[in-house]
Amino acid sequence: MKRSKVSHEFPPLVYPDSEILILGSFPSVKSRAAKFFYGHPQNRFWRVLASVYGENVPEQAGEKKSLLKRHHVACYDVIESCSIIGSSDSTIRNVQPADLQTIIAQGRIHRVILNGKTAAKYFERYHKRWDSQAIPVFQAPSTSPANAATSLETLIQLWRPLLTQE
Identify which of 44, 10, 13, 15 has the alpha carbon closest to the alpha carbon of residue 26.
10
Identify which of 50, 85, 72, 23 has the alpha carbon closest to the alpha carbon of residue 156.
50
CB of 114 closer than 8 Å to CB of 138: yes
List the catalytic residue out of 43, 56, 94, 115: 43
Identify which of 117, 130, 30, 32 has the alpha carbon closest to the alpha carbon of residue 81.
32
CB of 11 closer than 8 Å to CB of 74: no
Look up 147 and say whether it is catalytic: no
Identify which of 10, 3, 50, 59 has the alpha carbon closest to the alpha carbon of residue 31.
10
CB of 132 closer than 8 Å to CB of 50: no
Q: E strands along the chain, which residues?
A: 4-7, 20-24, 73-77, 79-84, 93-97, 111-115, 137-140
Residues with catalytic function: 43
